[in-house]
Amino acid sequence: MSTLLFSPPPLRHSSVLSFLIVLCLFFCPLSSSLEFPVNVWPKPTTFLWPHPQATFLSHNFTITFPQHRYHKHLFSAINRYRHLVLSEHHQPLVTPVIHPSPTSLPLYTLHITVSDLTAPLQHGVDESYNLTIPTTASMATLTAETAWGAMRGLETFSQLVWGYPSMVAVGLQIQDKPIFPHRGVLLDTSRNYYPVRDILRTIEALSANKLNVFHWHITDSQSFPLLLPSEPNLADKGSYGPEMQYSPEDVKKIVNFGLEHGVRVLPEIDTPGHTGSWAGAYPEIVACANMFWWPAGVKWADRFASEPGCGQLNPLNPKTFQVVGNVIKDVLSLFPEQFYHAGSDEVIPGCWKTDPAIRSFLSNDGNLSQLLEKFVNSTLPFIVSRNRTAVYWEDVLLDDNIRVAPSVLPPERAIMQTWNGGPDNTKRLVSAGYRTIVSSSDYYYLDCGHGGFVGNDSQYDQPQGTSHGKGGSWCAPFKTWQTIYDYDITFGLNEKESELVLGGEVALWSEQADATVLDGRLWPRAAAMGEALWSGNRDNKGKKRYAEATDRLNEWRHRMVQRGVNAEPIQPLWCARNTGMCNTVNSSYS
């Protein structure tokens, strides 16, 4: 057995202040509605702590792992978490009341055992773990089937340490595993650019919330920021500038950072729609490029795009598939992730109809759905041949105007991601046999409720005193953490259909977001989904636990801020200091 060493910061044991803090840790009075004085987010599936007690964390604390078993990503996590628990000294919003264990020694060691170190980070990997911190021994144990489960357990352990000098909960047992294997956040880096450092911080926060997928919506009509070796002109002419591009080295750094934190990086290159940014390099393969998105006097049904930024790849031009093939090949070489998101949402009829070759095709009894089928038939085999699973937005099957037949995209060959229609569209997909990722805009779109970004919008010019409707935001209102936490992504499904729901993703589309607001838009709302998908939003009696979740999320948000994530507050500090006083005991305000 080898010990991973990291030099901890010195502790001032002689400090009178430290002594007083310790006294308060044990004896300060507090009335709390929480089940335990110290909690973990997301709530573990089984948390047994019959007699809450605590002991000191030794300033020589180590995390050990058998020397003959090496896993570079787990070793990186072990060193990271050892440093965290020794240096964080989290000060809770309300000091926990925990009796000292009269028989406890300081906790010196956390020993990790992993059954299978060869399991890759991929969809469905075992993330379960067991954590035991005894009352009478100086060593805690963490067992897991895989390195990725051990990382989840390390995060849980870190949240059971607090104070200065550091205290740790003892006399507890945790058995934990997720309900859903796919738990993610989508970030759009095309509408506005996000520096690499902000993406890394987001991935770190994902891991802390036991979320395991960073869905990277890299490109769109507004910009093409990904620098690809085979097609460098796409970024050179389609990005916002050389300082707003992601190089292959950047991608490698982000992917490796994800591996070190147990987070898969899932790339999305949206095609054939949302490709106006490709026209800088290849104007001949993009229909309606650089055209005004919704000309004056034109009906909405005949628009060229659903928002400013026009362009759709032309499936009738052979060069389209040469370029798309190069793009897919490069992306698959940069990202080891087994899922490849091919987009295929919002293919707008009016855009394709501007192209003379397409108009000729239509005049000879062709239709627009055949064009989409041609595109899918030309690109899906390329993706599958490279041992990837293709993910598509639901539009490819469910759009009212342009869609492919299920025979073109059978359930065994693709995964669907739903964003419209709430539970109804989820039902439509899974009842047809499709594995589905849920990102319902009614619940999981984090950009909603911030107004619109289109200028010269007459809908704001309303007589005073009249309703302003959704305030310019198509998907208003704002999706609160409570709305997100309360959503049951398998609502209305039978057992067989529920098994096809892989999980969910909250989505931050970036028309009105960039790095300056990133943390607040994501957190703690993404954390709310994290718990709902990890251990559920109900207690062991089947009752929704949003009430007690408020206090736990309030504390977790506070800890995230201390860790460098600028999460939004969910209550005034007064509420935490006056337990229960901010609750309502009535069923409504009427």
- Amino acid 13: pLDDT: 38
Residue 27's pLDDT band, with cuts at 50, 70 and 90, is very low
pTM, two decimals, is: 0.93
The per-residue pLDDT for range 536-553, each reduced to its tens digit, is 999 888 999 888 899 999
Residue 154 backbone dihedrals phi, psi, to 5 degrees: -65, -40
Backbone φ, ψ for residue 194 (5° rounding): -120, 125
Q: Note the pLDDT of residue 277.
A: 98
Q: Is the pLDDT of residue 289 over 60?
A: yes
What does the pLDDT read at residue 102?
A: 78
The pLDDT value given to residue 68 = 67
Secondary structure of 440-503 in the HEC alphabet? CCCCCECCCCCCCCCCCCHHHCCCCCCCCCCCCCCCCCCCCHHHHHHCCCCCCCCHHHHCCEEE
- Structure confidence at residue 108 as a pLDDT band (50, 70, 90): very high
Percent of the chain surpassing pLDDT 70: 93
pLDDT for 406: 96
Residue 225 has pLDDT above 70, yes or no: yes
Identify whether the C-beta of residue 509 lies closer than 8 Å to the C-beta of residue 439. no
Q: Among residues 573, 561, 489, 487, which one has the least CA distance to residue 524? A: 561
- Residues 259-269, mean pLDDT to the nearest whole number: 98
* pLDDT value of residue 231: 98
pLDDT at position 262: 98
Residue 122 has pLDDT above 90, yes or no: yes
pLDDT at 34: 65
What number is the average pLDDT over the span 493-517?
A: 98
Across the range 507-535, mean pLDDT stands at 98
Catalytic residue at 346? yes
The arithmetic mean of pLDDT across residues 138-157, rounded, is 98
- Check if the beta carbon of residue 457 is closer than 8 Å to that of residue 472: yes
Lowest mean pLDDT among 89-93, 187-191, 349-353, 467-471: 467-471
pLDDT score for 462: 80
Per-residue pLDDT at 33: 52
Per-residue pLDDT tens digits for 162-186: 999 999 999 999 999 999 999 999 9
Q: Which one of 346, 505, 511, 531 is the catalytic residue?
A: 346
Q: DSSP class of residue 538? A: B
**Least confident span in 264-278, 358-372, 444-458:** 444-458
More confident call, 397 vs 459 = 397
HEC readout, 210-264 = CCCEEEEEEECCCCCCECCCCCHHHHHHHCCCHHHCECHHHHHHHHHHHHHCCCE
Residue 314 DSSP one-character state:
-
Q: What is the pLDDT of residue 587?
A: 76
> Please, what is the end-to-end C-alpha distance for the chain in angstroms?
64
CA–CA distance, 491 with 475 (Å, rounded to integer): 21
pLDDT of 16? 37
Please say whether the beta carbons of 338 and 387 come within 8 A.
Answer: yes
Asked if the model's pLDDT at residue 149 lies above 60, the reply is yes
Confidence category of residue 469, pLDDT binned at 50, 70, 90 = confident
Q: By percentage, how much of the chain surpasses pLDDT 90?
A: 84
* The predicted structure's pLDDT at residue 343: 98
Q: Does the pLDDT value for residue 393 go beyond 90?
A: yes
Residue 6 confidence (pLDDT): 31
The pair of structure tokens assigned to 360 is 């000729």
For residue range 397-453, list pLDDT tens digits in order: 999 999 999 999 999 999 999 999 999 999 999 999 999 999 999 999 999 999 899
284: enclosing H helix or E strand: none
Torsion sign, CA atoms 354, 358, 360, 364: negative
Amino acid letter at 557? R
Q: What is the mean pLDDT of the chain?
A: 92
Residue 11, pLDDT above cutoff 80? no
Query: From residue 39, how far is each of 84, 137, 169, 314, 525 by CA, in Å?
Result: 17, 22, 10, 54, 18
Please, what's the largest Cα pairwise distance for the chain? 88
